[in-house]
């Protein structure tokens, strides 16, 4: 049933709710438990005055939504983007609940967001905004309550400022409050690569199931941020050809393969792909419709829609981003039957899994090597993949619904067993 009588109402929140309903139907969940499991538990909205470099004060708006706290502290990133909305953050928090639950992590789900274009800020303005956001949400978070992490528009440096702000408030170094930190501040080895590494791991595993070797694999990646670039690098090193990449300035396509090292060097120098001459220039929309073996949307929500779903020319659709496929597009893809879709809550779960490892290492003050991190990561990914594929067969449903059935069932079970307080 549509959840319209809430402050979260928006197309992306509706997308997350409809996905939930499809899984809850399969589980035969009763109305009370269904509503309790679906609704975000709580949220804060904060206004942040920030002194800009020109001396003027600007007010930014930010959110933190905790969707579920029944299976552990909330966990999920903080997004800095000019189009952030509360409904979007709530949908992303909901997906974090299912993602953590599916991977078997002892967490609930949360997400934060600030309406800002971080590229328009100077480094000092970005620091003041990051610290102020953390300052405002301190009463709401903590290593046992809610543990943020990076998301679109935030990075290790932002996590370092936030950790410093929180630790100063506590009066002692407290790295377990946030993950995705620099390694020098209790960050985990492998966290930076983890989401892209996980996406690449799933792509390789599903290609293996389809008997497609690396030398026959052409990959297109929309979004060349942390997730997209690390996935590209892992697949390139495996022997696949990267034929298309893009960022917010546009896309580059080269049927003979893009020189990835040159693309990364261009970004390191110019910050964006604009002006990169490694292929033909295309728009982001055109890039999604080019022929390839693997298409990886690794940017924002709702880019695969009813308009382009019928035109996709890929064999595998690997969701590096959260919520890149609308429900209408989902239906078209499953009716087509010729695309293996690796759903977001499974496909990009490597990031939060290594965040969990980072938090564990912080709490224990005992740090692991990178091979240890990746070995543990790959084992957890393999387990999640096997359980999703088994559930898909059991219920004869899509891979997305199977992943959600598993994620949602655990949260609902925990809620039912805990009962109502008081």
Binding residues (CB under 6 A) for ligand GLU: these are 75-77, 149, 151, 179-180, 322, 348, 351-352, 355
* Rounded least distance, CB 223 to ligand GLU, Å: 13
403 vs 417: CA distance, rounded Å:
22
Minimum CB distance to ligand GLU smaller for 79 or for 266: 79
Minimum CB distance to ligand GLU smaller for 118 or for 279: 118
CA dihedral 110, 116, 122, 123 (to 10 degrees): 0
Do the bridges between strand 57-68 and strand 109-115 make them parallel or antiparallel, or are there none, so unpaired? antiparallel
Angle in degrees, CA 125, 43, 193, rounded to 5: 60
Minimum CB distance to ligand GLU smaller for 75 or for 131: 75
Minimum CB distance to ligand GLU smaller for 94 or for 352: 352
Tell me how far CA of residue 217 lies from CA of 38, 220, 238, 309, in angstroms.
Answer: 39, 10, 10, 21
147 vs 299: CA distance, rounded Å:
22
* Rounded least distance, CB 44 to ligand GLU, Å: 18
- Single out the residue of 274, 240, 270 nearest to residue 258, CA to CA: 240
Residue 326, φ and ψ in degrees, nearest 5: -70, 165
DSSP of 21-45, one letter per residue? HHHHHHHT--HHHHHHHHS--EEEE
* Rounded least distance, CB 57 to ligand GLU, Å: 29
* Rounded least distance, CB 174 to ligand GLU, Å: 17
Minimum CB distance to ligand GLU smaller for 34 or for 75: 75
Peptide bond just before 243 cis, omega within 30 deg: no
Which are the catalytic amino acids? 111
* Rounded least distance, CB 254 to ligand GLU, Å: 29
């Amino acid at each position: 049933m549509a959840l319209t009588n809430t402050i979260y109402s928006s197309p992306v929140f509706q997308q997350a709710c409809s996905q939930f309903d499809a899984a809850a139907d399969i589980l035969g969940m009763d109305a009370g438990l269904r509503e309790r499991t679906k609704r975000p538990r709580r949220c804060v909205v904060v206004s942040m005055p920030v002194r800009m470099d020109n001396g003027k004060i600007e007010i930014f708006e930010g959110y933190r939504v905790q969707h579920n706290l029944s299976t552990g502290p909330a966990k999920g990133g903080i997004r800095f983007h000019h189009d952030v909305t509360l409904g979007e953050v709530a949908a992303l928090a909901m997906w974090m609940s299912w993602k953590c639950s599916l991977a078997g992590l002892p967490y609930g789900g949360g997400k934060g967001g600030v309406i800002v274009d971080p590229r328009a800020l100077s480094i000092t303005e970005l620091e003041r905004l990051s610290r102020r956001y953390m300052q405002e949400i301190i009463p709401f978070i903590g290593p046992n309550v809610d543990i943020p992490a990076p998301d679109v528009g935030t990075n290790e440096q932002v996590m370092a400022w936030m950790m410093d702000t929180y630790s100063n408030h506590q009066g002692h170094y407290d790295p377990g409050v946030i993950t995705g930190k620099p390694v020098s501040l209790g960050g985990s080895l492998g966290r930076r690569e983890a989401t892209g590494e996980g996406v690449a791991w799933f792509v390789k595993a599903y290609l293996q199931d389809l008997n497609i070797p690396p030398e026959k694999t052409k990959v297109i990646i929309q979004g060349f941020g942390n997730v997209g670039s690390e996935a590209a690098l892992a697949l390139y090193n495996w022997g696949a050809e990267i034929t298309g990449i893009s960022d917010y300035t546009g896309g580059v396509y080269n049927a003979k393969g893009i020189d990835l090292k040159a693309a990364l060097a261009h970004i390191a120098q110019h910050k964006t792909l604009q002006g990169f001459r490694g292929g033909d220039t295309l728009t982001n929309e055109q890039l999604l419709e080019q022929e390839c073996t693997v298409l990886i949307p690794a940017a924002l929500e709702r880019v695969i829609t009813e308009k382009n779903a019928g035109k996709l020319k890929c064999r595998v659709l690997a969701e590096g981003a959260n919520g890149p496929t609308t429900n209408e597009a989902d239906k078209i893809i499953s009716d087509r039957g010729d695309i293996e879709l690796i759903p977001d809550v499974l496909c990009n779960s490597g990031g939060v899994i290594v965040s969990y490892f980072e938090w564990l290492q912080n709490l224990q003050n005992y740090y692991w090597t990178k091979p240890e991190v990746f070995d543990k990561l790959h084992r957890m990914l393999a387990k999640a993949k096997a359980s999703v594929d088994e559930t898909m067969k059991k219920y004869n449903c899509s891979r997305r619904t199977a992943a959600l059935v598993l994620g949602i069932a655990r949260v609902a079970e925990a809620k039912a067993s805990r009962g109502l307080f008081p």
